[in-house]
């Protein structure tokens, strides 16, 4: 029996002296050198007692060695659990305890604080730093550079990714070998990745986007990556002429647009820019295309499914949409109350089914049954619609739906109008408690740099564009919106901040 994940991503490159990772200090690591490093880590991890099916929790900085830990886990059959480097010790306590991790990896700077947590759950603790040093590297240094890959079935677990937990305890989404490989192969084909591609990689690798999309697609295609520790504008600008592709979050593109060095000449060597993890403003689409001649490709995915849809490589990349279904993926828009499929163009909840859809939530059978139907369709929690041309548009999260005076109100509809108002850079619409209506619509606005926003003028303008029940009861101008590490707007925080807007004084 083979090991689908390791064979498809890593093992197929054994002995290849072709470039894999281009590092900021000018060094290049070949595919073969990377695999030999990963094999040493695999030996070190088995020396720590890890066996197929065990979990390894890693809160480590981005580095070639950190990526090699992922490869080593695949080779051993260990379930890889990457953790956000911003998590506190209290948060890590939950993830380590819930996952039953047998080995915890951290940097030296937090290992002392994490040691009691690991000990409390009977987990070993080793370190790995951004520069590649650490106690696990010390253990691996003199170990063999070849490891006998452990056989695993396609349905065996390959990784956990914990969801953000904005509405309760984070859930460990269980991803199988087949989930990861099928999605990587589909994306590589749809986006035309080849061994000649050089991906500019400035994303974190504790998240689906940076690890299971950017890295996996490059590995499947046999290409290379300019592997930056994070998004540094000077490093990114310097790297673009050496790259052919780039994947980023919307913030990457807005920051590039703020820099005069972003030109058509700078990006002439590029063939593809991809954006995801958060919605890309239509204005960003237009400005980027005007400046560079490139139309950003936006796609849609999530922790539990990896990627579900994508704007086309060839054809119209339609701003404000996330494109068409990926091959092999089924998607339907359903009525949240009945589960029945709605008519074309109507808004409903998005459900998906396919080889990319996860196996369920770790140790949460009731939550799994609630969100993963018996027929394999996963209830994503996103609201959207499919137009007559087949383009999918995301209009928000189900939990963001506002019910005011008995009417269903979709924030995205209002946000699109607010975004077009004079002086407005971006907007967010939320529902907050109201004594008469149950919930009331509140609009939050961020002004363009150097401009002012007149809330009175905007309120007057909305009267001609929105039914009265959809119009915000109040508009507020704020300096910025709270976002997570991937740039996704956190409306739950905004709802908390403005919850008392209509409370009796």
Helix (H, G, I), strand (E, B) or coil at 60: coil
Residue 104: CATH number of its domain: 3.40.50.12780
Residue 450: CATH number of its domain: 3.30.300.30
With respect to residue 425, please indicate whether it lies within any of the assigned structural domains. yes
Q: What is the DSSP secondary-structure string of 236-267?
A: HHHHGGG-SEEEE-HHHHHHHHTSTT--TTTT
pLDDT for 2 equals 92
31 and 150: one domain? yes
Q: Quick check: 3 and 33 in contact, CB under 8 A? A: no
pLDDT for 409 equals 83
Assess whether pLDDT exceeds 70 at residue 165. Answer: no
391 and 431: one domain? no
What is the distance between the alpha carbons of residues 472 and 250, in angstroms, rounded to a whole number?
A: 26
What is the distance between the alpha carbons of residues 258 and 204, in angstroms, rounded to a whole number?
A: 22
For the residues 271-294, what does the mean pLDDT come to? Answer: 90
164 and 23: one domain? yes
> Which among 325, 8, 356 has a CA at the least distance from the CA of 176?
356
Domain end position, chosen among 335, 363, 398: 398
With respect to residue 171, please indicate whether it lies within any of the assigned structural domains. yes
pLDDT for 1 equals 60
Task: Report residue 387 as tokens.
Answer: 């137009």
For the residues 342-364, what does the mean pLDDT come to? Answer: 95
Residue 381: CATH number of its domain: 2.30.38.10
470 and 377: one domain? no
With respect to residue 328, please indicate whether it lies within any of the assigned structural domains. yes
444 and 352: one domain? no
477 and 355: one domain? no
Helix (H, G, I), strand (E, B) or coil at 139: helix
With respect to residue 366, please indicate whether it lies within any of the assigned structural domains. yes
30 and 150: one domain? yes
Q: Quick check: 1 and 153 in contact, CB under 8 A? A: yes
For the residues 24-38, what does the mean pLDDT come to? Answer: 97
With respect to residue 285, please indicate whether it lies within any of the assigned structural domains. no
Listed in sequence order, the residues at least 6 apart from 301 whose beta carbon sits closer than 8 Å to its beta carbon are 208, 213, 276, 307, 308, 309
Q: Taking the mean position of all CA atoms in its chain, how far away is CA 127?
A: 25
Q: How confident is the model at residue 173 (pLDDT cuts 50, 70, 90)?
A: very high
Most distant CA pair in the chain, distance: 73
376 and 485: one domain? no
Assess whether pLDDT exceeds 60 at residue 166. Answer: no
By residue range, what is the domain housing residue 22?
Answer: 4-179
Of 160-164, 341-345, 459-463, minimum mean pLDDT range: 160-164
With respect to residue 268, please indicate whether it lies within any of the assigned structural domains. no
31 and 156: one domain? yes
With respect to residue 481, please indicate whether it lies within any of the assigned structural domains. yes
Task: Report residue 504 as tokens.
Answer: 């009796």
415 and 392: one domain? no
Distances (CA, A) of 48 to 102, 147, 321, 421, 504: 9, 15, 47, 59, 60
Listed in sequence order, the residues at least 6 apart from 211 whose beta carbon sits closer than 8 Å to its beta carbon are 70, 82, 205
- The total domain count for the chain is 3
């Amino acid at each position: 029996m083979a090991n689908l994940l390791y064979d498809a991503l890593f093992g197929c490159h054994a002995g290849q002296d072709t470039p894999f990772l281009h590092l900021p200090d000018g060094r290049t690591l070949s595919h073969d050198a990377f695999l030999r490093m990963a094999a040493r880590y695999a030996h070190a991890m088995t020396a720590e007692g890890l066996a197929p099916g065990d979990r390894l929790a890693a809160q480590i900085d981005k580095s070639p060695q950190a990526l090699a830990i992922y490869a080593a886990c695949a080779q051993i059959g260990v379930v890889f659990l990457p953790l956000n480097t911003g998590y506190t010790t209290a948060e890590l306590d939950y993830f380590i305890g819930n996952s039953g991790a047998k080995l915890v990896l951290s940097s030296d700077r937090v290992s002392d604080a994490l040691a009691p947590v690991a000990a409390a759950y009977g987990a070993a603790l080793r370190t790995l730093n951004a520069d590649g040093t650490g106690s696990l590297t010390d253990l691996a240094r003199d170990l063999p550079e070849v490891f006998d890959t452990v056989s695993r079935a396609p349905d065996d677990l390959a990784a956990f990714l914990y969801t953000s937990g904005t509405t309760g305890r984070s859930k460990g989404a269980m991803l199988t070998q087949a989930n990861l490989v099928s999605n990587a192969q589909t994306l590589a084909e749809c986006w035309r990745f080849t061994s000649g591609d050089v991906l500019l990689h400035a994303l974190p690798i504790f998240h689906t986007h940076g690890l299971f999309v950017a890295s996996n697609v490059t590995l499947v295609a046999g290409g290379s990556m300019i592997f930056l520790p994070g998004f540094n504008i000077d490093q990114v600008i310097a790297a673009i002429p050496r790259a052919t592709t780039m994947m980023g979050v919307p913030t990457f593109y807005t920051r590039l647009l703020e820099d005069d060095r972003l030109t058509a000449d700078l990006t002439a060597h590029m063939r593809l820019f991809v954006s995801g993890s958060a919605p890309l403003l239509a204005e960003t689409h237009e400005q980027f295309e005007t400046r560079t001649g490139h139309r950003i490709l936006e796609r849609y995915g999530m922790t539990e499914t990896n990627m579900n849809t994508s704007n086309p490589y060839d054809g119209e990349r339609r701003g404000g949409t996330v494109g068409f279904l990926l091959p092999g993926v089924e998607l339907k828009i359903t009525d949240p109350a009945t589960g029945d499929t709605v008519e074309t163009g109507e808004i409903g909840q998005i459900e998906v089914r396919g080889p990319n859809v996860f196996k369920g939530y770790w140790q949460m059978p009731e939550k799994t049954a609630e969100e993963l139907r018996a027929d394999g369709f996963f209830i994503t929690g996103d609201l959207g619609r499919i137009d007559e041309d087949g383009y999918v548009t995301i209009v928000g999260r189900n939990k963001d739906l506002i019910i005011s005076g008995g009417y269903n109100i979709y924030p995205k509809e209002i946000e699109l109008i607010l975004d077009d108002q004079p002086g407005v850079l971006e907007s967010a619409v939320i529902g907050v408690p109201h004594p008469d209506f149950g919930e009331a619509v509140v609009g939050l606005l961020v002004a363009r740099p150097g401009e002012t926003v007149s809330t009175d003028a905007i309120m007057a303008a909305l009267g001609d564009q929105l039914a009265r029940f959809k119009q915000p009861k109040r508009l507020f101008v704020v300096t910025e919106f709270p976002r997570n590490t991937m740039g996704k707007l956190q409306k739950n925080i905004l709802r908390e901040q403005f919850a008392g807007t209509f409370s009796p004084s």
